[in-house]
A and B are shown apart, each in its own frame.
Chain A
Amino acid sequence: MGKRILFGIAAVFLVVAGAYASFYIAPTERTMGLIQRIFYFHAATAWAGETTFFVCFVANLLYIWKRDSKYDWLGVTCAEVGLVCITVVLITGPIWAHPVWGIWWTWDARLTSTFVLWLLYISYLLLRSLIEEPDRRALLSALFGVFAFLDVPLVFFSIRWWRTQHPAPVIMGGSGSGLDPTMNKVFFFNVLAMHVLLRF
């Protein structure tokens, strides 16, 4: 219990500090201006969401292997938290895109695959709500979770290669990409804050 409260306090502190850093410490972007600051929140939440789905996938595999209900609970918790993160990403994305690109939505690889990811995990939770017997629900949803996770890279590459305005990757992209060092620090601080929040 004590550990939980400590994590809670740390998470709130880090998120508040992350928000402060995004608004006051990070330099204002030259062309996009203030709206670019949403990036620290948007991308950090996206990374956090992807981490939870990965943990969900591992928990699903562990459940199939070990049949311990704690992995089932871990799986469903991760799916729910991940879904909240991705919902935030899908809301903050268009808020940024409208002033910068002039449109709310475009069918580009990352947007579309994030949206499909969101749909897949909605289906995952829906499937769970439609099976009553706990063991069966745990096993079948774990199996669907594994299939859904395997599908994500396929969705991403199919859309990247065959349909394609999302900004090119700026972190770990190629040469010529990259953020201002302060921006980078603020970004990774926010990523850390979001991950501590998840753990809570």
Chain B
Amino acid sequence: MDYVYTILILVGLFVTLASSFDLVIGHCGLISIAHPIFYAIGAYVSAMLAKEAGVPIPLAILCGGAAAFVSSVLVALPSLRVSGDYLLIASIGFQLGLIEFAKHIHSIGGAGGLTNIPSFLVNDYGRLSYVLLVLAVAVLTVLFVRWLTRGPYGRMMAAMRDDELAFPMLGRNAIWLKVSIFAIGSGIAGVAGGLYAHYFRFLEPDQFGLLLSSAILTMVVVGGMRTTMGPVIGAIVLQILPQAITFFGLPPSILGPLQGLMFSGLVLFFMFVRPQGLLAAPDIWAGREPKAGRRSGLADV
């Protein structure tokens, strides 16, 4: 049963990651694949606060989210002021650089990893309680992204994706919008990181590299960008698939590379065969009726 709970927790965490990543890359159109580094920042900050400073774990997890939020602003602000393309380079540089850096910091475990992270809920209330917490965060994230992208803020995101010159000419602030969304998405990833740390109780820098980037990207692409349920389905499918192939009893030397191949293969397959992902949805904003059904065309020229 513990195995099932662990899988459910991983599914919940990846739904949170994929949904928040879809907010950044899908809805806002920001090209960055460094989502895992903000997951890592949340995980490490939360773990260290709880382990070394005795901060209550719920507060530590929120601080992890805040740390991810703030560091993402520091990465996004300078690069987005130049141009959107620089965000990809700056964020990957930040991701890989910070991973290498963390490997050499002994106080956070270095390359060997951070162990003995305090656990949360599981000892007192059992694993199921943690499963419920993680799934609740996942559901809240999905609902939050849906709410944000279907409101007036989502209208701005759609417009900015469409035309970056007409957008400021209407008085809208594109940089502020991009930085805000990048920070919110990263902050959610940071909270997910904290949840990861206090369940698995072990972190190592290499977990948060490009393989995880490609896994999250695959989830969003396979599920369907800019759909509510796309990242959810993508996260479930891509979390279950690697678990399923472990039952074939392949040696670990094959299993590791096989997962990477599977992710890249799926992205390529979907890009060519079904670029809209498993779930295709019409654009949220095209031809949508207003909520209150105000007026229905009383044209008088």
Q: Do A and B bind each other?
A: no
